[in-house]
Structure 1
Amino acid sequence: MRNFDNEALYGQPGEHDRFRRLIEATRGGEPVLTAIAHPCSAAAINAAVEAVDEGLILPILVGPRDRIEAAAQEAGRDVSDFPLVDALHSHDSATKAVELVRAGKAGLLMKGSLHTDELLGAVVPSATGLRTERRISHAYIMDVVGYPTPLIITDAAINIEPDLAVKADIIRNAIDLARVLGMELPKVAILSAVEVVNPAMRSTLDAAALCKMADRGQIEGGLLDGPLAFDNAVSEAAAAEKGIISPVAGRAEILVVPNIEAGNMLAKQLTFLGSADAAGVVLGARVPIILTSRADSLRTRLASCAVAVLMARAATKAAPGPFFRPTDKA
């Protein structure tokens, strides 16, 4: 197993320390059998091998054998010891990977080099996929330098224009994730452009309704407030300037965006202008789904796997103690 706790991976001391602790939180547990759909690029093979080296997963490679072997050769990796399920093409890879999970032969699903839509196309059918009663959603776990806690941003990748019911499930999924990460009562900010209810802005009406749903016990496990503008959600000074008295305002741990455009731009702004790292996971299916891309750094790929592994383990036993503490400093 490689030692990734070094400056080359995490930068200067204190930078991206949360992702180091997140990966370390998986130590001592068994790696999780993971069906990797269509790992037919060097980047996908590297992501799989890196996760194996860290003791996170035991991969089952699902895809065209010749293309997987060519990708492994390009990456300079030996994957001969990994089980391989041959498939005809990317759609067949997704279908067969999902079948492995449905059959209980894998505890996680990981995206290889196919499009996200192709993978989710095999996940969402009720009869053959991995649907539950929850809406499937995506969450970024952001390590933002200078912010006192990690930030979960949702949904920035799957649900384009979620309605009230979908937003409720997005919040429930995010709360489940946050609790696995050690946040006992996560603070959920429902974002809009303003912090007051405006009948002309649906996002403010949805925010108010979601807060009332939480009051009535329809959404449990978190502390909700909204609508909140982004500055009021993450800055206590901005919240005080507006006269907002709330245990969430200025201290948010989960940011619920009104639509996919807002979430995608927010996450990428934090990444590219704020030097944040963003691990990602798909929630609400029978098992967590790991989404990585060629642009992800090594620590981000490993953190995404670690999040999914912790969630898979928490589904069968008590979750680990908190390693993201409210007093953490970046």
Structure 2
Amino acid sequence: MDIGTHLKRYMEREGVSEKDVMETLGLDVVRFGELESGALSLGVSDLLKLATLLKTDLPALLYGKEYRERKAIKTAVADRVLVRHHRTLDYESLAPSYVGRRMEPFLVTIYRRDDADVEVSRHDGEEFLFVTKGTLKIVVNGDTHVLEEGDSFYFDSSLPHSVNSVTEKVELISSIYKGESMVHQTRGRRMKAIIEAAKLLTSRNIVVISPDKTTLSAINLAIEEEIIDKAYLVGKKAWIDARCEGELSFPASYEYVEVAAEGDIFEQEAAKAGVAIVRKGLAHMIMKGKVNSNAYLKAILNRKEGIGTGRRLSLVGIFEVPGVDRLLMLTDPGINPELFVGDDVASGVDIVRNAIDVAKSLGVARPKVALLDANEVPTASIPTTVFERNLSEMTWDDADVEGPLSYDLALYEEFVKTKGITDNPVAGKADILVVPYIATGNILYKSWAFTMGAEVANVVLGASAPIIMTSRSDSDIVKFLTICASALYSSWLENEKR
């Protein structure tokens, strides 16, 4: 992945030095030279770090065009991206570098096979086919059409359809119009970067416990954007098919995991079966469907058969808040009633550590953590302020942790200057806000999301894989962004283990 030709332009624009880039990415002079020359390729996490440093987006680094720029991109033969599928279908993307495209143009070769082996698919949008060689049979909503060389065909791809070659093979041009991609539907530049970064990963697998329409709808969006490769649907197939009727759009990407248990133990056994899939390394993240939260979390935290790491589980909300020029992470607005258990300062470490890890997975090289409270002066009348000061004074090798800090001093540099604070590395620059109580976090979360219209993704940390627990009130975009952030975190975890 060659970004050297675009790097200098954005460094000059933002006044970023070579030293700044080297420190952010951990490069020496030789490796920086390789980056400039195109000899060094960056991983997704480093791309996000660089995009954050340069205040730009991933397409700017990869292709020299930002989201807001109008684009006209040529794709040479050598630039096509070839994908093979089960040895029966080859297709080449004809516009792989046009970011956020609404159309997907492909050069497709389909090989003849038995009709019984042909998969039926359906997806949102419309599709156009033009046959350049051979004879194609396409079945749409039960009606069969035969296309000869030179014939074209336009259809609603949300209808069930299948294709097969009548001749030994058929070659065609296919253009799929999907309408607005999730990149277009996402307003914030940094949330768009999360989507694009997730799309750069090797496709991830997800397991969902007792899926319903809302969870499957979000997973379908991730499959369509080529972020999720396979979804393990755990439960009873008959129930899932009935419950998710109208959403089973990608049958080739689903694998049913049948749970035989009945009655009161069904949810517990379904959760255990899903966790087992993660333990085997078959899925990179686990998602709660129509299942009780206690049964779900009990299976995850089971000491012998779960995926717990010994850390406290905590929820991190990832926000793009209007008026703030960086992603903000908020913890914990949804799981832990309080930061400090039994007035034990050390009990807050896990929640802070989880948030630091997710920030790093999203490209924040050295996260700045603000421990929020009523004011920045510790006082015995507000015990949490004393605990927060003690927590901030612990050793944090890969982050700056400061507290207590009030909300305004954590986020806005103008208030920091007014107060005359000059020696606090976090004040006015916080990436992570840690609240002392769940009520505080929940109010802040809802104020940002509902009153300010901030876009958000939520990840539950503390296990060996990201845990997804979305709410029924969450929109499709929130659930989709949560899957994207979880995919990035799962990839970061894998790299950390190497």
| Same structural fold, with TM-score higher than 0.5 when normalized by the shorter chain | yes
Aligned to 1:193: 374
Is structure 2 residue 329 aligned with structure 1 residue 148?
Answer: no
Q: Which amino acid aligns with 2:407?
A: F
User: Residue 83 of structure 1: SS of its match in structure 2?
Assistant: strand
Tell me the residue number matched to 1:316.
494
The Cα offsets for residues 128-176 of structure 1, whole Å up to 9 and x where unpaired, read as: 2111132221100011121111100011111112322231111111111
- Structure-2 residue corresponding to 1:323: none
Q: CA deviation at 1:5?
A: 5.1
- Higher gyration radius (CA): 2
Deviation at residue 81 of structure 1 after TM alignment: 4.9
Match of 2:201 among 29, 52, 64: 29
Indicate the structure whose relative CO is greater, using CA pairs within 8 Å and at least 6 residues apart. 1
2:205 counterpart letter in structure 1: L
Matched residues in 2 for 1:174 and 1:207: separation? 16
Task: Report deviation, 1:114.
Answer: 2.2
Counterpart check, 1:250 vs 2:431:
no
In structure 2, C-alpha distance between the alignment counterparts of 1:263 and 1:161, rounded to whole Å: 10
Q: Pick from 155, 180, 184 the counterpart of residue 361 of structure 2.
A: 180
The structural deviation recorded for 1:103 is 2.3
Report the counterpart of residue 49 of structure 1 in structure 2: 220
Q: Distance in 2 between matches of 1:118 and 1:177?
A: 25
Q: Give secondary structure in 2 for the equivalent of 1:315.
A: helix
1:76-95 paired onto structure 2 within 5 Å: 77-79=249-251, 81-87=253-259, 88=261, 89-95=266-272
Candidates 134, 153, 163, aligned match of 2:311: 134
Post-superposition offset of 1:78? 5.0
Alignment coverage as a number of residue pairs: 309
Once the two structures are TM-superposed, the CA of residue 253 in structure 1 deviates from its matched residue by 0.6
Match of 1:114 among 261, 273, 291: 291
More divergent stretch after superposition (292-301 vs 249-258): 292-301
Could you tell me whether the CA contact under 8 Å between 1:291 and 1:304 is conserved in 2? no
Which residue in 2 is equivalent to 1:267?
A: 445
Matches within 5 A, 1:98-109: 98-109=275-286
Q: Distance in 2 between matches of 1:225 and 1:111?
A: 34
Is the partner of 1:286 in helix, strand or coil?
coil
Which residue number in structure 2 is paired with residue 287 of structure 1?
465
SS of 1:166 mapped into structure 2: helix
TM-score w.r.t. structure 1 length?
0.87
Please provide the CA RMSD for this pair. Answer: 2.0
Q: Does the 8 Å contact 2:190/2:326 carry over to 1?
A: no
Q: Following the alignment from structure 1 to structure 2, what is the Cα–Cα distance between the partners of residues 109 and 288?
A: 7
How far 1:291 moved relative to its partner? 2.4
Q: Quick one: distance in 1 between partners of 2:371 and 2:457?
A: 21
Q: Is 1:72–1:79's contact at 8 Å kept on the other side of the alignment?
A: no
- CA deviation after TM superposition for structure 1 residue 204, in Å: 0.4
Which whole-Å CA distance do the structure 1 matches of 2:428 and 2:253 have between them?
50
User: Which structure 2 residue ranges, 5 or more long, are not aligned?
Assistant: 1-103, 105-177
Greater per-residue strand proportion:
2
> What is the match of residue 336 of structure 2?
159
Q: Structure 1 residues 5 and 60 mapped into 2: Cα distance closer, same or farther (>3 Å)? A: closer
Deviation of 1:73 (Å)? 1.0
Aligned to 1:211: 392
Report the Cα distance in structure 2 between the residues aligned to 1:74 and 1:116, rounded to whole angstroms: 26
Asked whether the 8 Å contact 1:19–1:299 carries over to 2, the reply is no
